[in-house]
Structure 1
Amino acid sequence: MTATPESAPETAGQSPTPDDHSGPNARPTLGMAEFAAMLALLFAVVAFSIDAMLPALPDIARTLIPEAANRAQLVLASFVLGMGLGTFITGPLSDALGRRTVIAGGIVIYIAAAVAASMAHSLEMLLVARFVQGFGSAGPRIAGLALVRDMYAGREMARVTSIVMIVFVMIPAFAPSIGQLIIGFSGWRGVFWSFVVFGLIGLVWFLARQPETLPKNRRRPLRLGLLVSGTREVFSNPNIRIYTAVLTLGFGQMYALLSSAQQIFADTFGRGESFPQWFMLMAILAGGAAGANAVLVVRLGMRRMVLGAYGLQALISTAMLGAFLLGLLAHPLAFYVFFAWAVSLFFMAGLTFGNLNALCLQHASHIAGLTASAVSAVATVLAAFIAALVGQSFDGTPIPLAIGATICSGLAFLLMTRTLEGEG
């Protein structure tokens, strides 16, 4: 069900113009299923752009900087830096210019930068191109969430965002294997051309099927004073502060798992060579979370789904932590217990991330773009510190990761108990 005019209040003193056929009053040419699939593709392009590069780094180092191979890691950092900067401003831009302009413009920047990166003959040129590519990727990632809020409300909004967000979580599991396959056929430069192909598919689909959803009378001018006051308004809401903190903890334990998994599989359990296959299986098993949430959230509501997921995850993580600390698990049972626990973390993400984003946007529908930007930026930056702390504590066992997940899930559960019952 598309959002009604009441779900996105008009700007005071303004009324729709006769020629304004955009926004929630417009008749979209695609249904919920196609809309979710299209947005999931755009989000997948962003996630793929990060993790598909992992197997390409050694070849990039040999080609561009054989004397300083470690600097190849900056190829990832420059993309994330550009995306982080874009995250802060993309939402406000979409509130001022409209969702369609910002999403399409971001994809065009992303594609152009990918072409430039494929032709780079120095590390400096490659880093600049990756920074710009990351900046462009923030368009579909952030304005896309605001687009969801424009079209849907309440639990239907949560159904769409849960499907879209699980793609962003799952793609990192598949991307390294796909990237390696592409490199085998066309070298590391071919990875960038795959970004171009995916970006073009998403752009054509988006422009052909998705109308503008934010009418001109509801747009907010892009002025510094309004941005500051809008950001203050977003985080003055106690519920948004709590949901952002919970999202930070959820992102933190997920990033910690992603960054530590390779070492745990290889060093702890001696399964380094089969790691990509195990990680792919993990994502497949956890993929059902999106479908489960789409069904359960209509019955239980967003808040209860998040509360229950983190409560259960805290118990599961505590049990696994205790088993490893007490030495109750012998090989190979220990590996399978760890694997099942890791699947549960991925599954939990599919039950919570979309709902948390929807809950935040529900409290600030009139500045949805700014809200999406502010919440995502804060949660992502702070989660990186959590993941780094857990990752640097790796001692050859899953114990530091289990401790981190237990603390994060436990705190998330406690924070959710402080929100209003019956929300969403």
Structure 2
Amino acid sequence: MTSKPVPAAMHPREFVAFIAAVMAVNALGVDLMLPALADIGRELAISDANHRQWIITVYMVGFGAGQLVYGPLADRFGRKPILVGTLIGFVAASVFAASSATFPALLGARLLQGLMSASTRVLAVAIVRDGASGRKMARTMSVAQMIFFVVPILAPTLGQALLAFGPWRFIFYALGAFAAVVLAWTLVRLPETLPVARRVPISLIALRQSYWLTLTNRFSIGYALAASLTFGGIIAFVSSSQQIFVDEFGAGAQFTWLFAICAGAMGLAAFANSRLVEKLGTRMISQSALLALIGLSIVHVLVIYAGLETLTSFTILQALSMTSIGLCGSNFGSMAMEPVGHIAGTASSVQGFITSIGAVLVGSAIGQAYAGTTLPLAVGYLCIGMAVLAIVYVIEGGLLFHARETQAKS
């Protein structure tokens, strides 16, 4: 059974913009407060600069853990009511964060924010998958991610602007306000995309079957693991970017636009992918990008060991690496979802949990290794690239750059 690729109440362009806005709730939750980390550290007496990274990491832990819950709920009750309820929760968590008086209280609020925003990842994928699959799904997700990636470009600048008008707490009020706008959009414009006939009752037997199918299909679990490693590279950069640009290179005044260059590279990658994926296929693009990431990481490590690392070299190599990661991300996600589309909600939640928690572990390990040099980030990216290459090699049965696709071009 197939359905229209776009909900009946929405124009295709509005649908893509809506999916991007839903995804942006999480992106803003991660990136908007980056310029404020130093201010938060001073006001809440965070003595170790690396501990400021937990403001990002704890959020991602909640984001990963929450995804296990929302998939089964969305498959049982539909997409819209779950999205509405969690957006309300995100608004409340943002208010709690803004009123936090201690570092532990802020971390608790951030954990709650992550738990609520977890639905945005699960439901964005499930809503798209309700009406599209294969390369068409990859194209839709790429266009949405192209818009979505504009958020990290603008978020630090927006955060800096908010700091010009008030304390860091304004940033969390802004997060709540944006989520409220998406909530209103959902209530007014989004129809339910999961027909009653396709809903799955919540039962231990059904969950066990869905989890088992998701975890035992080599494409589903393999590409989810691959996505977790590449996503870990993003978290490592985001969590340590303020320290690298400001503390190591002394580029505090240029931080927002230097960060935007690196994030913008991912946006350009998503745009290119949306134009090329139906012609070249998800495997050709993602595997080429993966080899590029490995090559760039080797060059970066050699530059650092030669004592030639500068702000310029780091920005260029990081932007190119983020381009490679951007070309891997949406394609890995689409390939992971393809064989389990008939249980899209639950499968998306399991894959999202694996991707997010794995990314937190990888990104935190790299970020906490920061000690005044970019070497841990460069070496971390090289290890990520080699590990993902091994995973892809196993998934594809020892074949790379072959023409097989799980879905015909049409």
Category of TM-score, reference length = shorter chain: 0.7 to 0.9
For 1:152, what is the secondary structure of its paired residue?
coil
- 1:82 and 2:62 are equivalent in the alignment: yes
1:304/1:43 CA distance change after superposition, 3 Å: same
- 1:356 and 2:338 are equivalent in the alignment: no
1:261/1:82 CA distance change after superposition, 3 Å: closer
Q: 1:156: which partner in 2?
A: 136
User: Structure 2 residue aligned with 1:226, among 206, 210, 213?
Assistant: 206
Q: 1:373: which partner in 2?
A: 349
1:223-262 mapped onto 2 (5 Å cutoff): 223-262=203-242
1:292/1:395 CA distance change after superposition, 3 Å: same
- 1:315 and 2:264 are equivalent in the alignment: no
1:279/1:387 CA distance change after superposition, 3 Å: same
Q: 1:28: which partner in 2?
A: 8
Q: Deviations over 1:214-257 (max 9, x none)?
A: 11111111223322221111011011122012112211222222
Q: Distance in 2 between matches of 1:222 and 1:419?
A: 31
1:393-412 mapped onto 2 (5 Å cutoff): 393-412=369-388
For 2:175, what is the secondary structure of its paired residue?
helix
Following superposition, the deviation at residue 381 of structure 1 comes to 1.2
Q: Distance in 2 between matches of 1:114 and 1:170?
A: 22
Q: 2:74: which partner in 1?
A: 94
1:41/1:352 CA distance change after superposition, 3 Å: same
Following superposition, the deviation at residue 54 of structure 1 comes to 3.7
Following superposition, the deviation at residue 84 of structure 1 comes to 2.8
Following superposition, the deviation at residue 69 of structure 1 comes to 9.5
Q: Distance in 1 between matches of 2:129 and 2:20?
A: 15
Give the conservation status (yes or no) of the 8 Å contact 1:62–1:69.
no
Moved more, 385-394 or 398-407: 385-394
Q: 2:19: which partner in 1?
A: 39
Q: Deviations over 1:347-380 (max 9, x none)?
A: 1232121111111111101111111111111122
Moved more, 300-309 or 274-283: 274-283
Q: Distance in 2 between matches of 1:239 and 1:356?
A: 9
For 1:287, what is the secondary structure of its paired residue?
helix
User: Structure 2 residue aligned with 1:346, among 322, 326, 329?
Assistant: 322
Following superposition, the deviation at residue 61 of structure 1 comes to 6.3
Q: Deviations over 1:121-155 (max 9, x none)?
A: 66666555444332221222211111110021211
For 1:157, what is the secondary structure of its paired residue?
helix
Following superposition, the deviation at residue 91 of structure 1 comes to 1.1
1:91/1:131 CA distance change after superposition, 3 Å: same
Q: 2:85: which partner in 1?
A: 105
1:67/1:397 CA distance change after superposition, 3 Å: closer
Q: 1:336: which partner in 2?
A: 312
Name which one, 1 or 2, has greater alpha-carbon Rg. Answer: 1
Structure 2 unaligned regions, length at least 5: 397-401
AA aligned to 2:316 is A
Q: Distance in 1 between matches of 2:45 and 2:244?
A: 29
Q: Distance in 2 between matches of 1:75 and 1:260?
A: 12
Give the conservation status (yes or no) of the 8 Å contact 1:166–1:350.
no
Following superposition, the deviation at residue 42 of structure 1 comes to 1.5
Moved more, 196-205 or 148-157: 196-205
Q: Distance in 2 between matches of 1:355 and 1:194?
A: 32
How high is the sequence identity, in percent, across the aligned residues? 32
For 2:130, what is the secondary structure of its paired residue?
helix
- 1:140 and 2:116 are equivalent in the alignment: no
Q: What is the TM-score when the length of structure 1 is the normalising length?
A: 0.84
For 2:269, what is the secondary structure of its paired residue?
helix
Q: Distance in 2 between matches of 1:25 and 1:164?
A: 14
Give the conservation status (yes or no) of the 8 Å contact 2:64–2:353.
yes
Q: Distance in 2 between matches of 1:170 and 1:46?
A: 13
Give the conservation status (yes or no) of the 8 Å contact 1:162–1:352.
no
Q: Distance in 1 between matches of 2:243 and 2:341?
A: 42
Q: Distance in 2 between matches of 1:265 and 1:74?
A: 18
1:401/1:81 CA distance change after superposition, 3 Å: closer
The count of aligned residue pairs is 399
Q: 1:200: which partner in 2?
A: 180
Q: Distance in 2 between matches of 1:385 and 1:208?
A: 38
Q: 1:17: which partner in 2?
A: none
